[in-house]
Amino acid sequence: MRTEPPTSAPAAAPPVPRGALARLLDGDLFHSFIRSPITVLSALVVLAILVAALLAPVIAPQNPFDPATLNLMDGFTRPMQANEFTGNVYWLGTDAQGRDLFSAILYGSRVSILVGFAAVAFAAVLGITLGLVAGYRGGWVDSLIMRVADVQLSFPAILVALLIFGVFKGVVPPALHDKAAIYVLILAIGLSDWVQYARTVRSSTLAERNKEYVQAARVIGVPAPTILLRHILPNVMGPVLVIATIGLALAIILESTLSFLGVGVPPTQPSLGTLIRVGQDYLFSGEWWIVLFPGLTLLLLALSVNLLGDWLRDALNPRLRR
Amino acid sequence: MPAFILRRLLQSVLVMLTVALVAFGLFRYIGDPVNNMVGQEATMAEREALRESLGLNDAVPLQFLRFVANAAQGEFGVSYRMARPVADVIAERLPATLELALISGFGALALGIALGVYTALRRDGWLSHAIMGLSLVGVSLPTFLIGILLIYVFAVELKVLPAFGRGEVVDLGWWTTGLLTPSGLKSLVMPAITLGLYQLTLIMRLVRAEMLEVLRTDYIKFARARGLSDRAVHFGHALRNTLLPVITITGLQIGSIIAFAIITETVFQWPGVGLLFITAVQFVDIPVMAAYLVLIALIFVVINLIVDLLYFVVDPRLRVQRSGRGQ
């Protein structure tokens, strides 16, 4: 998918040296960030959700998954209205068990974000490693890795993730399902998304491999892993950052989708997707807030991360700086 | 040209074999197929007899060959959960999914091209900006959330459309269709929108980007200089050259529409193969999972092949490039 450069892209940027990590701290990038109000806004939203999720135990009015703190009389309290029995007021209302939705969303975002970050990290490490090796070694290693990538790329991520989940359910004894579910989720999402990284890193590595600094390193006898990690890796990180940012939005959406389909995290440790799945049942009886607020949080999070990714892609793309 | 086709065919067969290997691995190694088929009180002798009759005692490569041969004839064994031949269950469910996928696919294509052209031509209009902004929201909105929102608005609040199911269907013998009854058509509206929205945004953004690129080219300037009407320039010259990549992407998207139908079918309880698959995953119904996997792979591979060939036929420049690349 291509997008147009943001209107706020810096008008005349000096030629910037390659090496995206160095460039990240460059004033240039910061400048384009500050000049795009939408980007700043999305960064603030992401930051706010991150902090809120991280500090959930401190901020949340109740621990929504400790049955002792729940009062069944509080069930189905409408948002911002006093409960007819207890008189308690909840900002975003409560669900069937009288669970404060605001607290549930805080804890839910925590799971969603954790899984999202872990899955992206896993996919990135796997993809970058395979991409570096494929690009540097070439030959049959390269062919093998890239053919596998091709085959996998012809299937949508959701299908791959579902399949991995199905295998997990068949292999792991049922008693361990709930405990292991979150790790399997991370594994499934990560494994469904490594191809992008591998392809990008491979093509950049192919370009870097024959440059003089790599040849020089090879001549003085630096071992291949060191060359890859110390010399080539920093120079191929630019596009990876962009993919990882957009990948984070995709991973969060995929996680919530899997949880919504009932194959994600167990209900005892709900993510935003699980909350939406549970809330969907109450939609027909008019309790719209149970599904709406987790849904909005998810949308806000995914949209903001997507906007950040779009901006980063344009800002790191020298071709758009004309 | 023949060499290219041959190579693509070979590649497709290779992909199918890989997928078949995965499906076979699922069937053979996830759980014990025999345990899944017989009841608790089956004796060892009965189990052994079944094992023998299924050929599970043969060498593994031989079993794989048999699996491939059976799969090629649409034979995937018996569903553990429903105790019916998988092929029958899938044949029963497939029309629902295909109808949904094709309708939402073509809808997304038509509307996507129209909106893409509009936003490219009126690049700075407020409506274009609004559409582009909305499309970003569309990309970030998970499919299931769109479905839920639609259900809430049109089924719960306005009560104009059914919230789930396929409505009344007409049985044509080998195909059941919901397109011939009012309730069937009504039931199709929300699932089709839910499924098509993401593809719509994708196609729209693609058409817009391609269109903007083409409008900058010299032959468009030349066409304008010749005094052709805007209409002729935009639709006769620009749009035509935009459509090549659109064909590719759309073709590839048909496959992912069918996969994304899993989500839509779950939200709307649409009785298609996607719902079948997700139930199979939940109940570890391996034969159904394996069959679905092979089916989807087949659809993907065939579409990929057609798109590649189509692209190749339509764009003469590619013939030169491909043969020159020699990969």
Q: Which of B15, B137, B293 sits opposite A151 (nearest CB)?
A: B15
- Cite the beta strand spans of A80-138 per DSSP E: none
Q: Which is higher by pLDDT, A3 or B251?
A: B251
Q: List chain B residues with CB under 8 Å of A284.
A: 156, 163
Q: Which two tokens stand for residue B179?
A: 């397109």
Is A94 in a helix, a strand, or coil?
strand
Q: What is the four-CA torsion angle of B223, B225, B228, B230, rounded to 10 degrees?
A: 80
Query: What distance in Å separates the CA atoms of residue A202 and residue A225, rounded to the nearest whole number?
Result: 15
Q: Domain count of chain A?
A: 1
Residue B142 to residue A171, Cβ atoms within 8 A: no
Residue A167 to residue B206, Cβ atoms within 8 A: no
The answer as to whether A315 is a domain residue is yes
Q: Find the mean pLDDT for residues A207-213.
A: 87
Q: Which two tokens stand for residue A305?
A: 């991360």
Pairing of strands B170-171, B176-177: antiparallel
Query: Helices A101-137 and A139-153, interaxial angle, to 10°?
Result: 150
Phi-psi domain of A75 (left: phi exceeds 0; alpha: psi -120 through 50; beta: other): beta
pLDDT digits (tens, 9 = 90+) for B156-180: 888 888 888 888 777 777 777 777 7
Identify the residue among A150, A154, A184 best suited for mutation to test binding to B, counting B beta carbons within 10 A and taking the highest.
Answer: A154
Residue A155 to residue B259, Cβ atoms within 8 A: yes
The answer as to whether A64 is a domain residue is no
List, as one string, the DSSP characters of B208-222: HHHHHHHHTSHHHHH
Identify any residues that bridge with B78 across adjacent strands, giving them in sequence order.
B85
The answer as to whether A32 is a domain residue is no
Q: Find the mean pLDDT for residues A199-227.
A: 89
Query: What distance in Å separates the CA atoms of residue B89 and residue B268, rounded to the nearest whole number?
Result: 19
Residue-number span of the structural domain to which A132 is assigned: 110-322
What letter would DSSP give residue B170?
Answer: E
Q: What is the four-CA torsion angle of B41, B47, B49, B54, rounded to 10 degrees?
A: 130
The answer as to whether A27 is a domain residue is no
pLDDT digits (tens, 9 = 90+) for B299-321: 888 887 887 777 777 666 666 65
Residue B228 burial (CB count, 10 A) = 15
What letter would DSSP give residue A176?
Answer: G
Query: What distance in Å separates the CA atoms of residue B265 and residue B107, rounded to the nearest whole number?
Result: 18
The answer as to whether A221 is a domain residue is yes
The answer as to whether A39 is a domain residue is no
* pTM across the whole model: 0.82
What is the pLDDT tens value at each position of chain B, 327 positions in all?
Answer: 567 778 878 888 888 888 888 888 877 777 667 776 666 667 777 777 777 777 777 777 888 888 888 888 877 877 877 778 888 888 888 888 988 988 998 899 899 999 998 998 888 889 988 888 888 887 788 888 889 889 888 988 888 888 888 887 777 777 777 777 888 888 889 999 999 988 898 889 888 888 888 888 888 888 888 888 888 888 877 887 787 778 777 777 777 787 788 899 999 998 989 899 888 888 878 888 888 888 888 888 888 788 777 777 766 666 665 444 443
Q: Greatest CA separation found in chain B?
A: 87
CA angle A276, B140, A27 (to 5 degrees): 130
- Cite the beta strand spans of chain B per DSSP E: 170-171, 176-177
Whether the CA torsion A22, A25, A27, A29 is positive or negative: it is: positive
Element (H, E) at A292: helix A289-316
What letter would DSSP give residue A228?
Answer: I
The answer as to whether A231 is a domain residue is yes
3-state helix, strand, coil in chain A (%, to 5): 70, 0, 25
Nearest to B110 by CA among B204, B206, B235: B204
Residue B266 to residue A249, Cβ atoms within 8 A: no
Is the pLDDT confidence value at A266 over 60? yes
The answer as to whether A34 is a domain residue is no
Query: What distance in Å separates the CA atoms of residue A216 and residue A204, rounded to the nearest whole number?
Result: 18
Query: What distance in Å separates the CA atoms of residue B200 and residue B106, rounded to the nearest whole number?
Result: 10
Residue B301 to residue A154, Cβ atoms within 8 A: yes
The distance of A82 to chain B (nearest Cα, Å) reads 24
Query: What distance in Å separates the CA atoms of residue A239 and residue A124, rounded to the nearest whole number?
Result: 12
pLDDT at site A11: 43
Give me the CATH number covering residue A301.
1.10.3720.10
